[in-house]
Amino acid sequence: MINSRFKLTTFKLQNQLHKLIHSNHIHGSARIKPRKAPRPHKFTRNQLRPPIPFLDHLKQCTNPDEFLSAFNDFNEMGYKHDYPSYASLIYKLARARRFDDVDAVLDYIRSRDIRCGEPMFIGLIRHYGKADLIDKAIEVFREMGKSYNCARTTQSFNTILNVLVDGGRIPDAIELFAKGPKMGFRLNSVSYNVMIKMWLGNNDWENAMKVFDEMLEREVEPTFVTYNSQIGFLCKRGEIDEAKGLFEDMRRKGRRGNAVTYALLMEGLCSSGRFNEAKKLMFDMEYHGCKAELVNYGVLMSDLCKRGLIDEAKGLLLEMKRRRIKPDVVMYNILIGCLCKDGAVLEGYKLLVEMQVKGLKPNAATYRMVVDGFVRVEDFAGGLKVFNAMLHSNHAPRLETFRCLCSGLLRRGRMDEGGFVLEEMKKRKMSLGWDLWEVLVSDSCKDEGFAVDSLSNLIASL
C-alpha cells in the first residue's frame, strides 16, 4: 500500500491527480526572458533552458515518500505539470521501485491522454527489467502506441529485446526479433548485437554466427561490439588463433579495432601463457591507429600480479607514468592487492596514500585489501588506522575483516580499540560469532597477561 498523504489506492490517487493537475493554475515552467548580455562562451542546450522549479526540487528529494507529495505541493502553489514533470516523477519512483505509485501515475496519464515521449517509456522498461518484472516491461512496450499515443521506434524495440535477453526469456526474445520487421521496425546493429550476445551467452557459437551472417546479408554494418563479443567469446574458450583470425578479417574489411578489442585479445594471450605476445600487441596498437588505454595496461598488470611478478608490475606502472597515462583506481587496486597478498602491506599502504595525493579516491576494495593485508601480518594497529580512514570515507569492511581485526585487537589486550570495532559491527548488525568468543575466552584462561576482567566487562556491555 502507498504510505502517507499520497499513499492511497490507485483509484484515489487518480482522482487526486485529476483535481490537482486540471485545476486552473498558471503554467509553472513559463520561459524567462534571457538577458541581453554578451556571452563569454557558447552555452549548451541545457544552460539556455530556463529552470523548472519542480524538477529542481524533485532532484533534492531522497525519501520516496516525498516524491508524490512534492508533486501535490507544487500543484497547490499554482504549478501545472507537463511531460518533463511526469517523466521525472516516474523515473524517480521506478528507481526507488515504487511500482504501485508508477502504475497510478501511468493510469492517470493514460486516462487523460497526456502526451509523453518515448524516452520516458524506455527508461521505465529498463527499470522493470532491472527489477525482474519482465511482464510489466512487455506490457509497457505493447501499450505505448495503443494506450499512451506514443510512437515506438527501433530504440524502444531494442530496449525490450535486451530486457528479454537479460531476463532469460530466450524464446520470447527470438520471437520478438523474428517479428520485428513485420511490426515495422528496421533492425539495426544494436538489434543484432543483442541477439549475438544472447547466443554467445548460451555458449551457442553456431546460432550466433547465423545471426551475424544475417546481419551481413541485410547490409547492417557490424560495430566494435559485434566483433568484440565474438573475439571475447573465442578467447574465453582458449581459441586464441581463431580470435586473431577474426581480428585480422575485421581489419582487412577496413574496420579497425578499439582498445577493448585489443584488450580482449591480450587477455586471451595472457591466459594461454603468451604474455610477451600480448605486450607486443599492445605496443603495435598505435601503429594501427589505436592508442593504448588503461584497459590494455590493466590486462598486463593483472597477469603479472597473478604470477607474482611484483617488480615487473611496478615497472609497468612507472612506464605508464612516463607515457603520461594516469593510472586509475582499478590499476592501483590490482597492484595494491598483489602487494598485500604477498605480505608487502606497507608498500600497498604507500600506494594508497599516493593515490590520495594524486587526487584519486580509494574505493571500498582499496581499503579492504589494505586492512586485510595488515590483519594478515598481524599489524592490528596499522589495520585499525586504515579501518578508521575507511569508515570516514563511508565504506564498510567485510564481516571477515571486522572479525579478524576485532579478535586480533582483543588478543593483544587492546580492549578499547576492540570495543570500538565491536560497536561498529553492532551498528551494521554484524556479530563477532560465538566461535571467536569461545576462542577469546579460552585464550584469556590460558594467558595470565590477557585482560580477563576487561574481556568480561566488554562481553557484559554488549
Instruction: Report the C-alpha gap between 17 and 420 in whole angstroms.
Output: 51
Which pLDDT band holds residue 163 (cuts at 50, 70, 90)?
Answer: very high
352, 383 in Cβ contact below 8 A? no
* Range with lowest mean pLDDT among 69-83, 109-123, 339-353: 69-83
Query: How many folded domains does the chain comprise?
Result: 1
339 lies in some domain = no
pLDDT in tens, 350-404: 999 999 999 999 999 999 999 999 988 989 889 999 989 998 998 888 888 877 8
pLDDT in tens, 121-134: 999 999 999 999 99
411 lies in some domain = yes
pLDDT at 457 over 70: no
Residue that the C-alpha cell 529542481 belongs to: 56
Percent of the chain with pLDDT over 70: 76
Q: Provide the residue range defining the domain that includes 418.
A: 398-462
431 lies in some domain = yes
407 lies in some domain = yes
* Range with lowest mean pLDDT among 85-94, 301-310, 329-338, 358-367: 85-94
Which pLDDT band holds residue 267 (cuts at 50, 70, 90)?
Answer: very high
Distances (CA, A) of 195 to 169, 179, 231: 12, 14, 16
What pLDDT shows up at residue 169?
Answer: 96
State the average pLDDT over residues 420-425: 79
Instruction: Report the C-alpha gap between 337 and 84 in whole angstroms.
Output: 46
State the average pLDDT over residues 70-84: 66
Instruction: Report the C-alpha gap between 316 and 335 in whole angstroms.
Output: 10
State which H helix or E strand residue 76 sits in. helix 65-76
pLDDT at 339 over 90: yes
195, 209 in Cβ contact below 8 A? no
What pLDDT shows up at residue 288?
Answer: 85
Q: Residue 449 has which C-alpha cell? A: 597477561
442 lies in some domain = yes
pLDDT in tens, 177-233: 999 999 999 999 999 999 999 999 999 999 999 999 999 999 999 999 999 999 999
pLDDT in tens, 287-310: 888 899 999 999 999 999 999 999
413 lies in some domain = yes
What pLDDT shows up at residue 441?
Answer: 54
Residue 84 makes CB contacts below 8 A (sequence gap 6+) with 29, 52, 55
Q: Residue 391 has which C-alpha cell? A: 569508515
* Range with lowest mean pLDDT among 6-15, 47-56, 316-325: 6-15
427 lies in some domain = yes
Q: Return mean pLDDT, the chain.
A: 82
462 lies in some domain = yes
